[in-house]
Structure 1
Amino acid sequence: MIRRNRTRHKVYFLSVILGIILFYNEFLVYEIQVYKWSLRKCTDCVVVLLIADPQILGYQNENYKGSAWAIWDSDRYLKNTFSRAIRHTKPNVIVFLGDLMDEGHIASTEDFEKYKRRLANIFDTSDDIMKIYLPGDNDIGGEEDMVSSHIHNRFNFAYTQPDTLVYSTATFFKVNRLTQLIPSAPKDAFLNDYAERNITNVVLSHMPLLFMPGTFVQNVLKELSPQIIFTAHEHKAMHISLDTATDQLSKIWILPPQETALYQLRLDMGDIHELQVPTCSYRMGMANVGFGLAYIDTQEKTLDFTVLWLPDRFYQLWLYLFSLGLVIIFSVFFICGICKNNHIAYSRVPI
């Protein structure tokens, strides 16, 4: 009886440990991370949430044993983090900076539709929030292969919207370095005097621009006159500034990982600021992942930017492996104990 009680207590203790690990990994760790974010209130700002390179896993490359679980876990991680970002930032605009799908450029029509439904489920938002979608090289090709016009048209049909969109005091231009697309700018988008501006020009591009200069970049700057550029693709957070007076880069800075400072940039000093947003998917092989958050204040001529760094999912998975090891060790000792107790000793009978 004593031994049974001890076993029962051990099972109860192990169950409590497993329950705590499960609660921490699937709920508490996300809530703790939220309190590390730098948020602010701004009644006159345009609040922009930036989603870069989610690259939801596809079915062709993920064809190993356990791939269904890997896809489910990756989607669930994105959904858990995005829902908290929406709840706490309350954005006016959500920008998807490309590479929505990992295998969009090679997907069949049937798979593409499945990926689109999964994305809609992961990034579920109300209709009153403006959503802007850019294609990346994993969506339409262009890096390791050529951009397919058919695949590109399929993406544009799935996410039909103009290449120039306006929300309040911010004008967003979708440029595409892969296809050399530069949208036409409305006349009131151009600036002559920063002090008199009442519109902020924002260029959106999947591929980096200022760090990779060329004729295309020169045309973007000349035709769209942006003060802010948001890009992705590199899977890390960077700030690059171009001094328009000298036409030289004045700053190249990698934002420190896991630092949650709110960086303020002036928009009336003659500089063009490019902010690269890190990937939000832990499956991209980066140690630090997150969402970008920007407060665009046209009246004050400022941009406040921060990265909403996300929990390390691999650390959580290691915790699960550790707990699985505990269960295996306990089970082995438990079974050995039962076998020992059930052992029958025989004694020699005298003849």
Structure 2
Amino acid sequence: MFLRRSVLWKYLIAVFLGVVLYSEWFVYTVQPLFWKTLKCEEEQTCIRILFIADPQIQGDLAVPPPLSYLLNWDSDRYLRSVYSVVEKHFKPNVVVFLGDLMDEGSISTTAQFNNYIKRLSYIFNPYYPVVQIWIPGDNDIGGENEPIKHEKVVDFNTAYSQPSVIAYHNISFYKVSTLTNAIPRPLDGRDLNYKIAISHYPVLQNLFYAKQVINSIHPDIFFCAHEHKSKYVKQRRDFGYKETHLLQYNDPVLIIPLEDSEEVYEIYVPTCSYRMGTSQIGFGAAIVDSRQQHMMYTVFWSPGRFPYLIIYLFFLITILIYISLNCSLRVLSKFSSVAKTENMQQLLQRA
């Protein structure tokens, strides 16, 4: 009865429910107000592309059950919530996944791998028809601190059966990889297309392979992931010099000309997972405007997650301490009452 009547208890519950409402719904609703606007004068001449990097959904081995069930559920729910808001806000025509889709793909069994694929399909499930392009990362098939695993390449290609070059309207997406050093063959009769080279690892860092890609495909721009950072590199096609620029929260929309024969850009898309040890997480968004002859790029930054989890933990500990103290007081009060009754009985018997 004491807990029900306690004003402090009621305040704790009210504040906790307010925090849950804000962190599980309201924060996602207001987040688009802080994003930069990508404007297109005529939608018919624009292609909207969303880039998703390093979601790295947690696997079955990192944390033992039953705690893993809670952590995986929260991580998956967060990604699904943010992606849903981004998709409805931006309405992309094409969604490009830049690898490291799962955390333990390269060391998983086929059954685990297929389960991770199902989770990814649930998290990034579009509510309208959209072209999805998938490429693997080292956490999916190996290749960073271990050799590429052929069986994982087969599993990945079975789940995401796609050609190495995908054309959408006037844009061609070329899947290149410094993991395998493979170079896709250019599409015949489509030399006028805007060519986007997509890779998990940065390409321009690998000078020999980058020269082969540029000479063979002549891409207009590169997109990569892996480093979990938001930045871009501008480099001369003859590799005479290069500049590196970080992309921060308040940076303006990046404008890249479509026809630039002297320089090439490589854009690093940040991770979208709050588990990657950085607070700067988000989704890369680009619009290719064929009429204005430029690409616009920005990052739709995601709200943090760890601060709210810490608040949840604080409330949980506070409530447990409060309940323990009150239960202890009630027990002590009960023992004290029993002791008084026994003393009274003894006094009456003596009288």
Q: Same fold (TM over 0.5)?
A: yes
Residue matched to 1:194: none
Q: Would the aligned equivalents of 2:269 and 2:283 in 1 still touch at CA under 8 Å? A: yes
Q: Distance in 1 between matches of 2:207 and 2:38?
A: 37
User: How many angstroms apart in 1 are the aligned matches of 2:240 and 2:12?
Assistant: 61
Which residue does the alignment assign to 1:232?
Answer: 225
State percent identity of aligned pairs.
35
Q: Please give the alpha-carbon distance, in whole angstroms, between the structure 1 residues aligned to 2:284 and 2:241.
A: 22
Q: Which residue of 2 aligns with 1:16?
A: 14
Any gaps of 5 or more consecutive residues in structure 1? 191-197
Per-residue CA deviations over 1:58-81 (Å, capped at 9, x if unaligned) read 112333651221111111111111
1:338 lines up with 2:334 in the alignment: no
CA distance, structure 2, for counterparts of residue 253 and residue 234 of structure 1 = 14
Across the two proteins, how many residue pairs are aligned to each other?
339
Ranges in structure 2 where 5+ consecutive residues have no aligned partner: none
Partner of 1:117: 118
Q: Which amino acid aligns with 1:219?
A: Q
Distance in 2 (CA, whole Å) between partners of 1:181 and 1:199 is 21
Are 1:263 and 1:306, in contact at CA under 8 Å, matched by a contact in 2?
Answer: yes
Contact 2:3 2:9 (8 Å CA) reproduced: no
Secondary structure, in 3 states, of the residue corresponding to 2:19? helix
Cα offset, 1:107, TM superposition: 1.2
Q: TM-score, normalised by structure 2?
A: 0.90
8 Å CA contact retained: 1:267, 1:301: yes
Query: In 2, Cα distance between the equivalents of 1:150 and 1:67?
Result: 26
Label 1:61 to 1:340 Cα distance change in 2 as closer, same or farther (>3 A).
closer
Q: Report the secondary structure of 1:85's partner residue.
A: helix
Contact (CA 8 Å) 1:236, 1:276: kept in 2 or not? yes
- Who is 1:254 aligned against? 246
3-state SS, counterpart of residue 282 of structure 1: coil
Give a deviation string over 1:223-262, Cα, whole Å, max 9, x none. 1111111100111111101123x52333201212x33632
Distance 1:341 1:168, change over 3 A: same
The one-letter code matched in structure 1 to 2:35 is: W
Contact 2:178 2:206 in 1 (8 A): no
Q: Does 1:200 align with 2:198?
A: no
Pairwise CA distance, 1:338: 2.9
- CA offset at residue 121 of structure 1? 0.4
Amino acid corresponding to residue 185 of structure 2 in structure 1: S
What residue number does 2:310 align with?
318
Distance 1:71 1:110 in 2: 17
Q: Which residue matches 1:279?
A: 271
More displaced, 181-190 or 165-174? 181-190
SS at match of 2:145: coil
Instruction: Give the alignment's TM-score, normalised by structure 1.
Output: 0.90
Q: Would the alpha carbon gap of residues 51 and 73 (structure 1) be closer, same or farther in structure 2, given more than 3 Å must change?
A: same
Query: Within the alignment, does 1:29 sit opposite 2:40 as a pair?
Result: no
| Equivalent pair of 2:282/2:299 in contact (CA under 8 Å) | yes
Q: Which has the larger radius of gyration?
A: 2
Aligned partner of 2:162 in structure 1 is 161
Secondary structure in structure 2 of the residue aligned to 1:150: helix
Deviation string 1:45-68 (CA, Å, 9 cap, x unpaired) is: 111110101111111233365122
Counterpart in the other structure of 2:109? 108
> Which residue number corresponds to residue 46 of structure 1?
47
Corresponding position of 1:195? none
Instruction: Please point out which of 250, 256, 259 is paired with 1:268.
Output: 259
Amino acid at match of 2:200: H
Which of 187, 190, 215 is matched with 2:208 structurally?
215
Amino acid at match of 2:294: T
1:296 Cα shift? Answer: 1.1
C-alpha separation in 2, matches of 1:145 and 1:27: 40
State the 1:4 CA deviation.
5.3
Query: For the Cα contact (< 8 Å) 2:177–2:203, is it kept in 1?
Result: no
What is the DSSP-based 3-state SS (H/G/I as helix, E as strand, rest coil) of the residue aligned with 2:34?
A: coil
